[in-house]
Amino acid sequence: MRRIVLDTETTGLDPAQGHRVIEIGAIEMLDRQPTGRIYHVYLNPERAVDPGAQAVHGLSNEFLADKPAFSEQVDAFLAFVDAAELIIHNAPFDLGFLNAELGRLDRSDLSACTLGVTDTLKMARQLHPGQKNNLDALCRRYSVDNSGRKYHGALLDSELLAEVWLAMTRGQETLAIDPVVMAPQAFKLAGVNAVQLRVIEPSPIEMEAHASYLIALSKESKKELPAW
């Protein structure tokens, strides 16, 4: 299944008050493996960044002044997320901003081209009720290294969220243990270590000894052996 782990940075907290998207970071995953494809862009919001927001992400009006507008990037963005499930931390926030940007261009919202949304904040609250479940807290809980996160950044946060989501959902999709082949550069993002397992079959002598043990155990317990 194709998934896109996505995050945004914005000029403020509420798109209804005219705040805009200034950064989009997204990572493609296929069957729970990062493919190496990313989408990352800084955007000129055509308005000022709130000081409080700049303190969080560090993106200034001067830095964004020569960046493209969302209207110049919309086609590339929609092509990247098309026909994928989105994985977002606090999804209503990011979707509210992105759908507002699409609405300004008379485009359909993201539900028209994607296969649904997984909100990892909602998942975390169900798994860890009563605890902090922001991205930093989840990184600590799942041993994901976020030491390089001085500011919030859409691409960096997407990379961290991909690792957190893999840890949160490991083992949920299937009980089968199949070999996984990943490119070396994907190991760090996915948090997977390459391990080769060797199966050792018992010898005839070991099988006979095991059978004798079971017979003795049955006599001692005065119970019949189960039929295998």
pLDDT tens by residue, 195-219: 454 556 666 666 666 666 666 666 6
Q: Are 151 and 165 in contact (CB under 8 A)?
A: no
Phi, psi of 3 (to 5 degrees): -130, 150
How distant, in Å, are the alpha carbons of 4, 207, 213 from that of 223? 56, 21, 14
pLDDT tens for residues 151-197?
789 999 999 999 999 999 986 543 333 333 444 444 444 444 444 54
| Domain residue ranges in the chain | 2-174
Q: Which one is catalytic: 19, 57, 89, 152?
A: 152
Q: Are 89 and 121 in contact (CB under 8 A)?
A: yes
pLDDT of residue 148: 77
pLDDT of residue 218: 60
pLDDT of residue 188: 46
Q: What angle do the packed helices 91-104 and 70-81 form, to 10 degrees? A: 120
> Comparing C-alpha atoms, which of 163, 160, 168 is closest to residue 128?
168
113-146 core/surface letters (b: 16 or more CB in 10 A; e: else):
ebeebbbbbebbeeeeeeeebebeebbebbebeb
The better pLDDT of the pair 7, 179 is held by 7
Q: What angle do the packed helices 120-127 and 154-169 form, to 10 degrees? A: 40
pLDDT over 70 at 223, yes or no: no
- pLDDT, average across residues 132-139: 96
Answer yes or no: CATH 3.30.420.10 is held by domain 2-174: yes
pLDDT of residue 147: 87
pTM: 0.74
152 is catalytic: yes
Token couple for 117: 């949304």
- pLDDT, average across residues 62-80: 98
How far is it, in rounded angstroms, from Cα 79 to Cα 226?
59
